Structure 1
Amino acid sequence: MPAGVNAETAIVRWLASSTRDPKSAHRDWEDGRPAILALGVLFDAVKAPSRLVHAAVDSSERSAVAVVLGQLGGPVIWAPSTWYAILVPAGTAADWDSPHAAAMGHGTYLTVPRLDRVEPPGIHWAVPPAHARTLCSPVAVAQLLDLGHQSQGLSR
C-alpha cells in the first residue's frame, strides 16, 4: 500500500475517533456525506467569518487563501461564503480570548467533510490535514483574525 494511503487512513481514523461512534463517521464519509464530529476531545475549532479571513489575506481567491491558512500549521474547513473552521488543540476554547471569532470546544460539534473534498461546491477542506494530530497554532489564528479585523479598518 502506498505511504500516502497509510497516512490518509491514519488521518481518517484519528478524525473519526473524536466521536463516540467512529463507524458512523466512516459510513457518512463513505456515502459522500460530511460527518458530525465532537469537539473538545481531540481538537477544538475556531469558527471565523469568511469576510475576516479574506480581509486578512487581502483576497477571497481560494488558492491565495489556502496558502495563508496553510501557514497556521494545521487543517482548515471552509463553508463557502460563511465561515472557516480552523482546527486547534483541544482545550483552546476554554482559554480563547479573541473577540473576532468563536472558539468551539467540549459539548459542541463540527461538520467535517471527507478528506478528498478539497473544493466547492459545499463544505470542503481549505487546508486538508497533512498528518493525524497536527493542528493549527491558536496564537497564529488569533494573529490572523486581528490582521483581518485591522484590515477592515475596525478597532479592537
Structure 2
Amino acid sequence: MTPVTPQLSAAFKWLSHAQQESRQAHREWADTGVALLPLGQRFDAARLPAQLLLASVGTYDPLEIAERLTRFLNGPVLFDGRLMGGTYYALMRPSPGQPWKHQAAAPRLSTGTYLGVPKIGRTKPPGTHWVVPPRFPGDLCEPATVEALIGFGLSITQEAEL
C-alpha cells in the first residue's frame, strides 16, 4: 500500500472530477476499489498490451517496470490483469485533433470510453492497480512521450520476430 499523502489525496480528488458527480467515483472506489471514469475531458489513456510495454522497458521485474515507467513517462500508469497477459494504461493529456500514430498496436482511448481506475493506494495485485500512481492534481503523461515509448517497443518486438 502506498502511503496516502495530501498530494496523493488531491490527485485522486482531481481524477474523481472526471465523473459528472465526483462523489460517484469515491463511492465506487470505496465499494469495489475501482471507479469507472469517462475519458476525453480530463484525461485520455493509451492501452498498452503487456508484451509491448515490457519490450519497451526491457524488464519483467515489477519494481523495475515501475521505476522505468516513472522515469520514461513521468506520469501515471495503471495495470489491469484481467485479460491474458495484462494491459497497461498510461493516463495522458487529452489532445483532440492530434493524430495518434499507433492506434492499431496501442489505441488511444478518449471520448465515449470509460476506464476502470483503481483507488488511492492500490499499488499491488490482485486486481487493477497503479504501477505509477498520480503524484499531484493534473499529473498526466505527455502523449508524444507515450508515442515514443510505444514506437520503441514496436521496434523491439518487430526485431524479435525477424
Settle same-fold status: TM greater than 0.5: yes
Distance in 1 between residues matched to 2:12 and 2:121, nearest whole Å? 11
Question: Residues 36 and 112 of structure 1 are in contact (CA less than 8 Å); yes or no, is this contact kept in structure 2?
Answer: yes
1:70 maps to a residue whose letter is T
Alpha carbon RMSD of aligned pairs, Å? 1.8
1:113 Cα offset (Å) = 0.3
Question: Residues 93 and 105 of structure 1 are in contact (CA less than 8 Å); yes or no, is this contact kept in structure 2?
Answer: no
Aligned with 1:25: secondary structure? helix
Instruction: Give the % identical residues.
Output: 33
Aligned with 1:46: secondary structure? strand
1:88 maps to a residue whose letter is M
Instruction: Please name the residue that 1:75 is paired with.
Output: 76
Instruction: Please name the residue that 1:84 is paired with.
Output: 88
Q: 1:69 to 1:53 in 2, by over 3 A?
A: same
Structure 2: 5+ residue stretches without partners? none
Alignment map for 1:1-156 (pairs within 5 Å) = 5-71=5-71, 72-80=73-81, 81-91=85-95, 94-99=98-103, 100-154=105-159
1:5 Cα offset (Å) = 3.3
Distance in 2 between residues matched to 1:139 and 1:94, nearest whole Å? 10
CA deviation profile, 1:98-120 (whole Å, cap 9, x unmatched): 24210011111100000111011
Structure 1: 5+ residue stretches without partners? none
1:73 maps to a residue whose letter is N
Q: TM-score, normalised by structure 2?
A: 0.86
Q: For this pair of structures, how many residues does the alignment match?
A: 152
List, as ranges, runs of 4+ consecutive aligned residues in structure 1 with deviation greater than 6 Å.
Answer: none
Higher relative contact order (CA 8 A, sep 6+): 2
Aligned with 1:35: secondary structure? strand
Q: 1:120 to 1:93 in 2, by over 3 A?
A: farther
